[in-house]
Structure 1
Amino acid sequence: MVSEERNTGKSTFLNFLKAVFQNNVTFNTNEDFRSQFNVDWAGKLLIVVDEVLLNRREDSERLKNLSTTLSYKVEAKGKDRDEISFFAKFVLCSNNELLPVIIDVGETRYWVRKIERLKSDDTDFLQKLKAEIPAFLYFLQHRTLSTQKESRMWFAPQLTFTSALQRIIRSNRNKIELEMSELCLEIMEQMAVTELSFCINDMVCLLNNTGCKTDKSQVRRIVQDIWKLSPASNTLTYLTYQMDYNSLRNYSPIKRTGRYYTVTKEQLTNI
């Protein structure tokens, strides 16, 4: 759950989970995830973190591994490591809507919700929630599930994809990729087209002309590994665009030959 605003009820929700599951819930800090000593939380059902900020790549990889693993090695000070069954679920809260954790394109392990500010403040709200726990548990035990298991995280990925998740994914993209994406969208808009064809050298020249210094290896990695584009099967003639300061649109069409890539406006807006 993310929200830059205060008084949204995120901490109250975590305290409610603690009241429901009691000793099966533990509150972690960011440092707890990075510590080698994990015996105090590895056996819990719910691991909750208020004010999460796990913006290192190793933090992200550990969190992804823990969210799907069936076993995990625990370690306490002065004792040997031991492997146990791992079944914990993570509930993370943050005031940082852009970079609370590193989330890559295509990642399906996260369900990110943007929490709006409460319209009114009730200082006794948590106590009222606790009073409803018996009725709430009865409801959970007798409800009819509205979904079936469709992935390793139960829900179909499209059900948990939100604009808040997309915002975090976009914020994690590196500068060169962002520049490439904006440049391609700008060319499409200026030239009134919905797709852009280019070779790696074309893109490097366009980026360098805009003041974004890069090289072919960086551009190729973004095009192939992140955008998942494939080049034409053979060397063919294609229409691309070059910088043209004498044109009102700043770009002019040019025909070239090569094993070109093609990206669409829809692909870029969905990344």
Structure 2
Amino acid sequence: MNLDSAEFIRVGTSYYAIIERPTISKDTEKIMISWNKETIVNDLGKDYISAIKKYYGFCCIPQHINYEREIGDFYNIYHPLDYNIETESEIDLQELQLKIPYTLKYIKHIFAEQYLLGLDYLKILLENPTQILPVLVLVSSERETGKSTFLKWLRKIFSFNATFINADSFVNNFNSDLNGKLLVLVDEIITDNQQVTERIKFLSTADRNKIESKGKDKEEVESFYKFVMTSNFEKNFIKIDKKETRFWVRKIPSIIKNPEFDKHLYKEIPFFLNYLVRIPHSTPKQTRMWFTPEQIRTSALTRLMNYENENAKQKVFEIINEIHENFNEDEILIAPKDIQSISKRIHGRNSIEINEARNVLKTLNLTPSNNSNKYEGYEYLPHGEFVKIDRKGRYYSIIFSEIRHFFDDSDDSLITI
């Protein structure tokens, strides 16, 4: 063991070694690991201890330009970038552009008509890491789009300040891997867990988060997370409503990449960072998330928002159709709570809510009974059989022959009714 290359520090009453760890790419990355005082004495001598730098504690101050490792008597755990950014020397922009052809082409592929906003997003990440930004999601059901490459590229740029996690991590008790991170990267997200959605929404705008590690008490820390995700499921990778403004969803087309594309992309990073700090923002800050909802609205986001409504509509139509086929009745009396109950038996955790059922019935131009009355409703038994049952409530009277055209529009499989 060569200890000459190691740096030792004391934070509080604990000792740490800062060393270079080899990577698969044959580079090294700087990491900090716990070390034992007695081991330092045994290896380097008692006098060495007095020369070790000492700090009261850790802090996390995100900086990429004019980085400071020591903030007062505290040790900054935010990692400096591995690249040199010249902010004072004059560099010709056209000359820089000639050095980053792969990068600019790739950003245009990812952001297309929102190319300038994409550059703004990356410039903000670099220059103002505490600025709140929208949740960026790259979606495509196609293969070879380069969306996963985007996450790897960001990880390469921001190093240990970016971390890969899966969707389940948002609802796990232990979340210490998020501590001090700028970028939270989620590859191939797909979840119907509303708790995950709410957690992402909260963390994307929160300035503090509670971190919990195994065997340790929860600790409240400052947070500045930016979420970047990818998914193969364009319409339903997550549940969001039509009023949501925190998501920026882009559909990414296929691309034919040079087998050495990633290497070229990584090689251009130092020049690209110097390019970013020299170009102006294309749009000024207008909201707490910098961009307005209108600026980041895309057809991919609209499809995601509309999916839940269309999905609920389809489920209600399937239930009405099943009742019609089972009882061969033109008039069907049913309440939203009946539809929800039946849906729970059929669809399980993906069942529709009462309000969703009510909204679908309204799209059929139906109105409920004026008062809570007795009616003969329907129930779906656990073994898969529909039965009639006496109920009381404000029900809707559905004349199947009058709404047949709605079914024809919703699903080809229902046209033969």
Q: TM-score range by the shorter chain?
A: 0.5 to 0.7
Letter in 2 for 1:152: R
Q: Distance in 2 between matches of 1:17 and 1:85?
A: 22
The structure-2 alpha-carbon separation of the partners of 1:144 and 1:178, relative to structure 1 and needing over 3 Å to count, comes to: farther
Aligned residue for 1:135, secondary structure, equals helix
Alignment of 1:84-163 (within 5 A): 84-118=221-255, 120-163=256-299
CA positional deviation for 1:31:
2.2
Letter in 2 for 1:59: V
Is the Cα–Cα contact under 8 Å of residues 24 and 44 in structure 1 kept in the other structure? yes
Residue equivalent to 2:304: 168
The structure-2 alpha-carbon separation of the partners of 1:212 and 1:158, relative to structure 1 and needing over 3 Å to count, comes to: farther
Aligned residue for 2:178, secondary structure, equals coil
Which residue among 186, 190, 193 is the counterpart of 1:56? 193
Residue equivalent to 1:5: 142
CA positional deviation for 1:175:
4.9
Which residue among 170, 173, 183 is the counterpart of 1:36? 173
CA positional deviation for 1:81:
0.2
Residue equivalent to 2:217: 80
Percent identity, please.
40
Which residue among 191, 206, 212 is the counterpart of 1:69? 206
Which structure's relative contact order is higher, taking Cα pairs within 8 Å and 6+ residues apart? 1
The structure-2 alpha-carbon separation of the partners of 1:125 and 1:212, relative to structure 1 and needing over 3 Å to count, comes to: farther
CA positional deviation for 1:38:
0.6
Q: Distance in 2 between matches of 1:97 and 1:8?
A: 13
Letter in 2 for 1:162: T
Q: Distance in 1 between matches of 2:331 and 2:260?
A: 56
Q: Distance in 1 between matches of 2:160 and 2:356?
A: 50
Q: Distance in 1 between matches of 2:273 and 2:331?
A: 59
Is the Cα–Cα contact under 8 Å of residues 141 and 233 in structure 2 kept in the other structure? yes
Q: Deviations over 1:208-263 (max 9, x none)?
A: 9797954497479649xxx9xxxxxxxxxxxxxx97969xx98xxxxxxxxxxxxx
The structure-2 alpha-carbon separation of the partners of 1:23 and 1:212, relative to structure 1 and needing over 3 Å to count, comes to: farther
Is the Cα–Cα contact under 8 Å of residues 201 and 246 in structure 2 kept in the other structure? yes
Aligned residue for 2:300, secondary structure, equals helix
Is the Cα–Cα contact under 8 Å of residues 37 and 76 in structure 1 kept in the other structure? yes
Alignment of 1:169-248 (within 5 A): 169-173=305-309, 175-176=311-312, 213-215=334-336, 218=355, 222=359
The structure-2 alpha-carbon separation of the partners of 1:220 and 1:23, relative to structure 1 and needing over 3 Å to count, comes to: closer
Is the Cα–Cα contact under 8 Å of residues 20 and 133 in structure 1 kept in the other structure? yes
Aligned residue for 1:7, secondary structure, equals coil
Q: Distance in 1 between matches of 2:301 and 2:182?
A: 24
Point out where structure 1 has 5 or more consecutive residues left out of the alignment: 181-207, 228-241, 251-271
Q: Distance in 1 between matches of 2:193 and 2:333?
A: 25
CA positional deviation for 1:65:
0.3
Is the Cα–Cα contact under 8 Å of residues 2 and 114 in structure 1 kept in the other structure? yes
How many residue pairs end up in the alignment?
A: 206
Q: Distance in 2 between matches of 1:159 and 1:211?
A: 45
Letter in 2 for 1:116: P
Q: Deviations over 1:7-47 (max 9, x none)?
A: 10111111111111011110111222221111112320001
Q: Distance in 2 between matches of 1:146 and 1:209?
A: 59
The structure-2 alpha-carbon separation of the partners of 1:149 and 1:214, relative to structure 1 and needing over 3 Å to count, comes to: farther
Q: Distance in 1 between matches of 2:356 and 2:285?
A: 38
Q: Distance in 2 between matches of 1:212 and 1:34?
A: 41
Q: Distance in 2 between matches of 1:142 and 1:126?
A: 24
The structure-2 alpha-carbon separation of the partners of 1:15 and 1:176, relative to structure 1 and needing over 3 Å to count, comes to: closer
Question: TM-score with structure 2 length normalisation?
Answer: 0.45
1:26 equivalent in alignment to 2:163: yes
Aligned residue for 2:203, secondary structure, equals helix
Letter in 1 for 2:266: K
Point out where structure 2 has 5 or more consecutive residues left out of the alignment: 1-137, 317-328, 338-353, 364-397, 406-417
The structure-2 alpha-carbon separation of the partners of 1:210 and 1:5, relative to structure 1 and needing over 3 Å to count, comes to: farther
CA positional deviation for 1:68:
0.5
Is the Cα–Cα contact under 8 Å of residues 2 and 94 in structure 1 kept in the other structure? yes
Letter in 2 for 1:153: M
CA positional deviation for 1:92:
0.5
Question: TM-score with structure 1 length normalisation?
Answer: 0.67
Is the Cα–Cα contact under 8 Å of residues 179 and 212 in structure 1 kept in the other structure? no
CA positional deviation for 1:142:
1.1
Aligned residue for 1:17, secondary structure, equals helix
Q: Distance in 1 between matches of 2:182 and 2:191?
A: 20
Residue equivalent to 2:118: none
Is the Cα–Cα contact under 8 Å of residues 48 and 92 in structure 1 kept in the other structure? yes
Greater strand fraction, Structure 1 or Structure 2: 2
